[in-house]
Amino acid sequence: MAGTGVIDIFAEAGLDKPDISVIDDDFRRKFEASDQKHLQLEAVRRLISSEVKIIGKRNVVAGRKFSEMLSEALNRYQNRTIDAAGVIAEIVEIAKAIQAQRQRGEETGLTDNELAFYDALSSNESARFAMRDETLQAIAHELTGIFRRDVKTDWQVKETVRAKLRARIKRLLLRHGYPPDQEPAATALVIQQAEAMAESEDNLPSNRGFGNFRPLIRALDALLMAKTPIAKRAASFLAARAFRTVAMHRSPFPGV
């Protein structure tokens, strides 16, 4: 029991470090001889569930795969198809798969975003069979560049921008020889993956509170880039309007 009266379930379960690296074959062997099976199982369930949610926010395909694996294991346990030791054994295998997922980026040389797009593209079996791995990696690299350089703030809610993105992704896939009959599903999954990335980045502590400033930043950028008097006047108008909008909201900076 902690000083605040709240039980630290991980410490009580003998998990000194609440990280999935502790969920291994050694833990499984210790679990079989443990007299706190229920507590340890609950701690491990919380730990692996949290990790799966984190993965799903960055990689839609991987998150979905691990979520299904975990749900199936827990359902079998709840239906008494397997016992506590059996479900722990399956959770250990899920933890190993998550660790392997982390290492894939290092082994392939892909960034986390590139790996997420690669997983989206290669999730289709026929596309995986028809295309070389190097080609899928190249597409993933180009997709990352598109969303990093060219996608503007709030693109998720602007249908005209989304339509242009879909068309651009389609051209990119077909140019690299992606199976035409699989392209619509792949494009939809790529868009879904990009949305997950955008939401994840918006929720980073360093980005919270800055949403109201983004239109002002974009307007100031446009003003700096304006070449003609008409463009400068238009950018100045947008900057002034954005500044008024920001002024109506409380600053995210304490004391400002």
User: Tens place of pLDDT for every residue, the chain, 256 residues?
Assistant: 344 433 465 666 666 666 788 888 998 998 888 888 888 898 889 889 999 999 999 999 999 999 999 999 999 999 999 999 999 999 999 999 999 998 887 888 899 999 999 999 999 888 888 899 999 999 999 999 988 876 665 665 567 778 888 899 999 999 999 999 999 999 999 999 988 888 776 544 444 444 444 554 455 555 555 566 665 566 566 556 555 554 544 333 333 2
Give the pLDDT confidence score for residue 80 in this predicted structure.
Answer: 93
- Please name the residue that has the structure tokens 């479900």: 87
* Per-residue buried b or exposed e for 55-94, using 16+ beta carbons within 10 Å of the residue's own CB: bbebbbbbbebbbebbeebbeebeeeebeeeebbbbbbeb
Please answer whether residues 41 and 88 qualify as being in contact, where contact means their C-beta atoms are separated by less than 8 angstroms: yes
For CA atoms 172, 178, 180, 181, the dihedral sign is negative
Q: Can you tell me the distance from the alpha carbon of 38 to that of 1, in angstroms, rounded to the nearest whole number? A: 17
Give the pLDDT confidence score for residue 241 in this predicted structure.
Answer: 58
- Whether this prediction's pTM lies above 0.75 is answered by no
Instruction: Name 90's Cβ contacts closer than 8 Å, sequence gap at least 6.
Output: 69, 73, 76, 82
Give the pLDDT confidence score for residue 238 in this predicted structure.
Answer: 58
Give the pLDDT confidence score for residue 108 in this predicted structure.
Answer: 84
Give the pLDDT confidence score for residue 126 in this predicted structure.
Answer: 87
Q: What end-to-end distance do the CA atoms of the chain give, in Å?
A: 41
Q: What is the DSSP letter of 152?
A: P
Give the pLDDT confidence score for residue 134 in this predicted structure.
Answer: 92
Nearest 10 degrees: Cα torsion 97, 98, 103, 109? 110
Give the pLDDT confidence score for residue 93 in this predicted structure.
Answer: 95
Q: Residue 200: which of 64, 29, 23, 59 has the closest Cα?
A: 59
Instruction: Name 123's Cβ contacts closer than 8 Å, sequence gap at least 6.
Output: 61, 189
SS3 251: coil
Distances (CA, A) of 99 to 66, 83, 93, 231: 12, 25, 10, 52
CA 191, 195, 201: angle at the middle one, nearest 5? Answer: 145
Q: Can you tell me the distance from the alpha carbon of 197 to that of 204, in angstroms, rounded to the nearest whole number? A: 11
